[in-house]
Structure formats: C-alpha cells, structure tokens
Structure 1
Amino acid sequence: MYLYGASGHAKVIIDILQSTGESVAGLFDDNPDLKELCGIKVLGKFKPGRELEEPLIISIGNNRIRASIAQQLTVKYGQAISNTAILSPGASVGEGTVVMQGTILQAEVEVGKHVIINTGAKVDHDCVVGDFAHVSPGAVLCGNVSVGEGTWIGAGAVVIPGVKIGKWCQVGAGAVVIRDIPDNAVVVGNPGKIIKYC
C-alpha cells in the first residue's frame, strides 16, 4: 500500500495497516523537506499519470483536499480498517476509506469513498456516510442518519436517529444534532444550531 500525505493522520493509518499485516511501500507528500515518516521513505510529490503496483490511500485529514486529490488521480485505491473496529457483516465501506481503532459500524451502514471514520466513532444501523466525509473521534451517529458528501462531524458530536445532514457541512465538537441540516451549514451547541454557512 502507498499513502499520499505524510502527517499525523498517516501515522495512524500506518499503525492500522501494519497491525493487519499490510506493508506500506512508501509515502508521497508535496513537502520536499520530508524524507521519512515512522521509518517509511517519503518518495516526494505524486505526479498524476504515475502508475503504482500497489493501491493508494489519501492520508490527508482535510476533506476538501482529499476530494480534490482523489478527483485528479486515476489509481487503484485501498482501504485501512483496524482489526479493533467492529463491522457488521451487512456494513459496506468504499474505496480509499479509513476505519480507525475502536470504531463500530452496525447493520446496513453504508460508508462512501475516501471517508474517515475516526477513533472510537459509532455509526448505528442504516446510516449512510457520503464520500469524503469525516466522522471524528468519539462521535455518535444514531440509527438511520444520513451524512452528506464532504461533511465533517466533530469529536464527540451526537446525531439523533433519522436526521439528514447535507453536503460539506461542519458539525462542531460536542454538538447534539436534533434536526436536519442543509448543505454548507456550520452547526454548534446543544441543541445544535446553525451559526453560519461555509
């Protein structure tokens, strides 16, 4: 497996891959000063059109940057799913997605492409998480929640059952979302309130 992005997020993905017996062949990063991360060689900037023998994961936490890179590259993408995560046999996980340590994905959960389901997040039955979204550490999506493309759910946030969150939203850490949220909204607090649009 190759990783694109040599940062703290990549360190966690390296841990996940190595704990599941997957080796990391190298990392790509746009910063020419980076030479290695966790003992793995940084191979420089990834040039579009380059062919890889192994799959790639975009190991960048920023949803918009991850989406922009994925839309430019035509490579085979892998996944990183921690062996401490609990996945229902009925859950599905898209390419390029990372499911971190202690996560739970319940029955009929659908997770899109290039998503981050972060440490200890809980995603209950029938939830749908769109491409390029990020469910942060300790966040809870109750049953039948829909999270739109590129949306970020902050650490420790809770979304009650049946709520639909639009595309490219930001839900603040610790927020409690009790009603639907339109695209591009920024929501904070308990109960969650829209404070602006991005």
Structure 2
Amino acid sequence: MIPTFTIDVLLYGFVHDNSIILPQAGALLVAQPVLDDPNFVRTVILILAHIDDEGSMGVVINRPGSMLDSPDRSPLSEWIATSAGPHVEFIGGPVEESSYICLAQDFGSPSNVTSMDMMSDDLNASSIHRVFQGYSGWGPGQLAYEITENAWWVLPSEPNDAFDNDPFTLWSRVMARQTSELRKLADYPLTQRSTNRY
C-alpha cells in the first residue's frame, strides 16, 4: 500500500457515487474549514488506497509546488514537462517527501488502481498524468477518527479532479458541485492563518 522510494505510476479510475460516506479508493477527502494543520488547510486529497485495518493513503491534488530546474532531477523534469498543466510537481503530502508518485488516467479501467514503474515506457507523453512529491497517510483507524472529529468530508470525485488546470480553486468548486448543504460553503473565507500557507 505504501509507495517505495522508487518512482511509481498509479493508474486510477473514476469513482462517482453520490452516496459515498466512508473512505474508499477514488473518493476525495476535502478539508473542513476548521482544519488548521498547515499541511492540510483547504486541501482536496484523492484517496489512492483505504483498508480499515491497514490505513489509508492519498495525494493532495490542489497544491502545486515549484518548477524543477535542477539538473540532477532531469528525469522528473521530463515527466513534469509532459504532465497536465500547470507543469510543476505537486505537493502530495508530508509523508516520504523524497519519493514521487505519478497519477495517470486509466480510461480502460474506470475503477481500478494499479502501480507501475515510472521509468518504464508504458506511460507515454500523450497520456494525462501528474507528478506528486510525497503523499498523505493515515494508520489504522486514524482517518476514521479524524472524520468523526470533523476534519474531513468524504465526497465523490470527478474524472478530471486530479488533473485540474486550476488547482487553487478546486476546493471551492468541489464544494459548489455538492447537492447537499455543503455547497453553501464553497465561498467560505480563508482565515488569516490559513492564507499564509499559499
């Protein structure tokens, strides 16, 4: 479940079920406005894996990082240059920040999550993909506890969420598309403390 220090490609499908209330691969974790952990303020996380007795992992999909210009990172630079814009590495989370995950849309398998070596030729430059540095992880029961403590909402994802070209507004747009009362929070203001993160 936890990625190794090698560069992985996770091919993920689309899960769209308006009744999602429990964490599952393909769903979104959306930070509630009261969550003030600087790693997760106003974040949207795509859940990549969730097993109740093992834990959960995902990547923050709305935190673009910086451009890669270091020669020693040139293999990553090639992947990022062909990724879904903006062409930067994204901050996937605070766990294993020296590792990288590449998400790619898998149109042939709408609900499958699989991993492959990013150094292989299986993913070409025409594919829709995005590179994430690090990931977000929870031990057994930890995510369930945080959800009951009102840190997160578990919401359905849409096919292009992980590859959105305007990640800074993704939190508000995910909230706005909800059919419940949650959509009223789409314009919820950031607090001064949380604006310092961006």
TM-score, normalised relative to structure 2? 0.23
In terms of fraction of residues, the more helix-rich structure is 2
Greater relative contact order (Cα 8 A, min sep 6): structure 1 or 2? 2
TM-score, normalised relative to structure 1? 0.23
